Amino acid sequence: MKTEILHNFTSRSRAATADEAQRGKFRSAMDFLIAKRAAQFPDPTEWAELRESGQQIRQRALAYLPKLLVQFEQKAQQNGMTVHWAETPLEANQIIHGILQRQQVRTLIKGKSMVSEEIELNQYLQAHSIQALESDMGEFIVQMADEKPSHIIMPAIHKSKQEIAALFAAEIDDTPYTEDVDELIQIGRQALRQQFFNADAGLSGVNFAIAETGTLCLVENEGNGRLSTSCPRVHIAITGIEKMLENLADLPTLLTLLTRSATGQPITTYVNLISGPRRADEQDGPEEVHIVLLDNGRSQAYADVQLRQTLQCIRCGACMNHCPVYTRIGGHAYGTTYPGPIGSIISPHLLGLAETRDLPSASTLCGACGDVCPVKIPIPELLLRLRVENVTRAGTKDHPAVMRGQGAKYRLSEKLAWQAWSLLNTTPALYLASRRSAAGLRHLIPSVKAWTQARVMPKIAPQSLHELIKAHQEQKS
Amino acid sequence: MSARAHILAKLTASHDQPGWPAPVALKTNPPRTINAADQLAQLKTMMAAAHTEIHEVSSENWPEKVAELTQAKNLNNLLIAPKTALGKQLQAQWPVDGVTLKYDLHHSGGKEELFFSVDAALTSCRSAIAETGSLVLWPSPAEPRLMSLVPPVHFVLLDAHNIYPSLTEVMQAENWAAAMPSNALLISGPSKTADIQQTLAYGAHGPKELVLLIMV
Ligand code: SF4
């Protein structure tokens, strides 16, 4: 089923571009976010310095990643937290399920976590009779509609307030239809309050994990992240292994880059720094804190210094906000947890290139994503690299097998056609001969049906440039 | 091999590949020299922009101000932390009867009361950050985390002497890295969301109103 979803990128994006209402919603949402971000970085010198520091902090952390993970684990344990490691989504799900089972938890209240989407935790728990309830308003809406987030920061960006009003009226007891956003939010608040009160366990994502102090940093505006992590007696945090920072002193720079790039806020309403469960004399806070460190293909990206830059990402979403492709097709067309430019460079590591073969081409290479990335990930370069990996057979001498699913788009006929093309153009005699038979040239061009859907097939001129010049010179002399 | 060993082995095998930029020492910004008045002004501007209600008070008259606001806002009750210095002063100087509640989650029904019948709470804060308009709270046994989160109105008392230019400065000055509390918090306004059609709405899950009392 997953394969089917992923391989349908072309048909999904075609359907999405035909949906004018949806395109309008994305266009206005992206314009809003672009303007808000721009207002936060008015000074180009400050922006340049900040993102330079941001890049260096992330690259320094990645340089020491194995050491930092061990240091983080030690510190977190000293602070009274339990650290778990998972290589695959299944392992992560089993770990979380195990904790909930031991605690006899039937309902899990969730703060926002894209990694939990990545491992499809809700579905896994549901299959094991545990209800996972999203409490971020956007996620709450998306879960109620039985959909997936279409943006990593604003999960319900694809829905209009009319759609949300209808959804609430239909799904929440005693709720009249209202398009008043304040009222809708209050309805959501009331619906979730009882759940926070009842929940025995809460789950959250992690924006940064600080190795020096064994601290989890969580950034949010609503307070649902704070509630999920301080109200229930068990708190489980899940994060990719790349989210490590070396020092607490690294945090301010990344925090300011993250919140300004993501939603154009100087800071979010809440920055929550969690360094352990409740201490002996404290009245609230969880009695147990568990952290799940997930690999799921990240160590594959880490193995190659060019692709490793993917892991610098702080998930601000700015690249998708500025992407002309994302704006037109929306997040669902990608069929992956992380859409847009960051999704196109990270998903191949999480799911394998065979499953995500179309994503590296889902870009105009206009460069907007690379220009706004606050940690200077050269996204267009990485997209090109993945396109090469797509058509390179694994194990050939210039391309050691790094990527799972390498060579997904490799076709011998295409390879031969390009080899012939190159031979033709670098061998004058052959070139001349081929010029005399334009038809001969045309059949060497690989199938261009898709290409000509939006373009006119060029006609081969009756006379070549060489012939024209020759004729011109003869005329002159 | 355990997942831990496997992941670490994979990372270690590739961590010092040539080509990855060598870590450089980051330049640390010299402490900013913003004078106290400017810091206060900046804090107020930023917090007001984030929808915070701000009042200047003195170290003597603030309990009266809290009482006045509690009445003006028609609040039925106010949760306080009785064992803190601020809780003691408030109780000593509280001019009206019957509206303060004392925080005790251990008490049966304490949590239920907190969730469903408390209108407002008053907490202290440790320091504040001018640059972003943020309050620094380190919840404690006497003043637990949910006080600043669950009730719909949150009053905070800040001593203007504890304002720092930026997060970096406050972390350095207070040497956070040496001993982090179980939960440290920056609060920069009332709870909000823009998840429905980018329309800003306050009071998503946390307080709908943040009322800052600055002792100048
Ligand atoms: S790749 Fe860069 S711009 Fe995109 S989400 Fe990550 S940090 Fe933000």
**Cα B173 versus chain centre, distance:** 18
Q: What span, in angstroms and rounded, lies between the C-alpha atoms of A163 and B69?
A: 39
Residues 6+ away with beta carbon under 8 Å from A95: A84, A86, A292
Of A245, A268, A300, which residue constitutes the final position of a domain?
A: A300
Indicate whether A289 and A429 sit together in one domain: no
Q: What span, in angstroms and rounded, lies between the C-alpha atoms of A355 and A5?
A: 9
Q: What span, in angstroms and rounded, lies between the C-alpha atoms of A51 and A37?
A: 14
Contact A230, B183 (CB under 8 A): yes
- Structure confidence at residue A461 as a pLDDT band (50, 70, 90): confident
Instruction: Give pLDDT, residue A406.
Output: 83
Q: Does A327 map to a domain? A: no
- Contact: B23, A248; criterion CB under 8 Å: no
- A190: number of Cβ within 10 Å: 12
Contact A329, A13 (CB under 8 A): yes
Which residues span the domain enclosing A451? 412-476
Query: Which residue carries 């601020």 as its tokens?
Result: B86
Class of domain B33-192+202-215: alpha beta
Residues of B (136-195) whose Cβ lies below 8 Å from A: 139-141, 144-146, 149-150, 166-168, 171-172, 176-177, 180-195
Contact A209, A243 (CB under 8 A): yes
| Mean pLDDT to the nearest integer, A428-456 | 68
Which pair of structure tokens corresponds to residue A109?
């209240």
Indicate whether A58 and A203 sit together in one domain: yes
Q: Does A226 map to a domain? A: yes
Buried b (16+ CB within 10 A) or exposed e, A298-336: bbbbbbbeebbbbbbbbbbbbbbbbbebbbbbbbbbbbb
Q: Does A186 map to a domain? A: yes
DSSP B199: -
Residues of B (41-80) whose Cβ lies below 8 Å from A: 46, 50
Of residues A447 and A111, more confidently modeled? A111
Indicate whether A196 and A71 sit together in one domain: yes
Indicate whether A158 and A293 sit together in one domain: yes
Q: Is A232 helix (H, G, I), strand (E, B) or coil?
A: coil
DSSP A332: G
Contact B46, A266 (CB under 8 A): yes
Model confidence at A95: pLDDT above 80? yes
Of A266, A300, A334, which residue constitutes the final position of a domain?
A: A300
Instruction: Give pLDDT, residue A452.
Output: 78
Instruction: Give pLDDT, residue A440.
Output: 53
Model confidence at A4: pLDDT above 60? no
Model confidence at A387: pLDDT above 70? yes
Instruction: Give pLDDT, residue A401.
Output: 63
Taking the domains of chain B in order of start, what are their residue ranges?
33-192+202-215
Which element (helix H / strand E) includes A70? helix A65-78
Return the CATH number at A203.
3.40.50.10420
Total count of domains within chain A: 2
Residue A280 burial by Cβ neighbours in a 10 Å radius (0-12, 13-18, 19+):
exposed
Indicate whether A289 and A421 sit together in one domain: no
Side by side, the strands of the sheet bearing B53-57 are: B53-57, B209-215, B153-159, B120-124, B78-80, B100-102
What are φ and ψ of residue A263, in 5° steps? -125, 10
Which element (helix H / strand E) includes A198? helix A181-198
Which pair of structure tokens corresponds to residue A430?
């052959």
Instruction: Give pLDDT, residue B122.
Output: 95
Q: Does A403 map to a domain? A: no
Averaged confidence pLDDT in chain A: 92
Q: Fill in the amino acid letter for B194.
A: A
DSSP labels for A128-172? TT-EEEE-SHHHHHHHHTT---SSSS-TTTT--HHHHHHHHHHHS
- Structure confidence at residue A2 as a pLDDT band (50, 70, 90): very low
Cα dihedral B101, B106, B107, B110, rounded to 10, equals: 50
- Contact: B206, A60; criterion CB under 8 Å: no
The residues of chain B scoring below 70 in pLDDT are 27-29, 96-100, 103-108
CB contacts of A143 in chain B (<8 Å) are none
Indicate whether A430 and A293 sit together in one domain: no
Instruction: Output the CA A197–ligand 1 centroid distance in Å.
Output: 35
Measure Cα distances from B160 to A269, B56, B80, B214 in Å: 21, 10, 21, 6
Give the closest residue to A196 by CA, choosing from A122, A109, A138, A112. Answer: A109
Among A62, A193, A281, whose Cβ lies nearest the Cβ of B115?
A: A193
Residues of A (154-193) whose Cβ lies below 8 Å from B: 154-156, 159-161, 164, 181-182, 184-186, 188-189, 192-193
Of A282, A300, A318, which residue constitutes the final position of a domain?
A: A300
Q: Does A378 map to a domain? A: no
Q: Fill in the amino acid letter for B10.
A: K
Q: Measured from the CA of A261, which atom of ligand 1 is nearest?
A: 8
Q: What is the pLDDT of residues A322-347, one digit of tens each?
A: 999 999 999 999 999 999 999 999 99
- B102: number of Cβ within 10 Å: 13
List of E strands, A80-233: 82-86, 107-110, 131-134, 201-204, 208-210, 215-220
Angle at A310 between CA A339 and CA A292, to 5 degrees: 80
Query: Which residue carries 């990643």 as its tokens?
Result: A65
Instruction: Give pLDDT, residue A367.
Output: 97
Query: Which residue carries 């206005």 as its tokens?
Result: A28
User: The complex's ipTM?
Assistant: 0.95
Q: Which residues pair with B66 in a beta bridge?
A: none
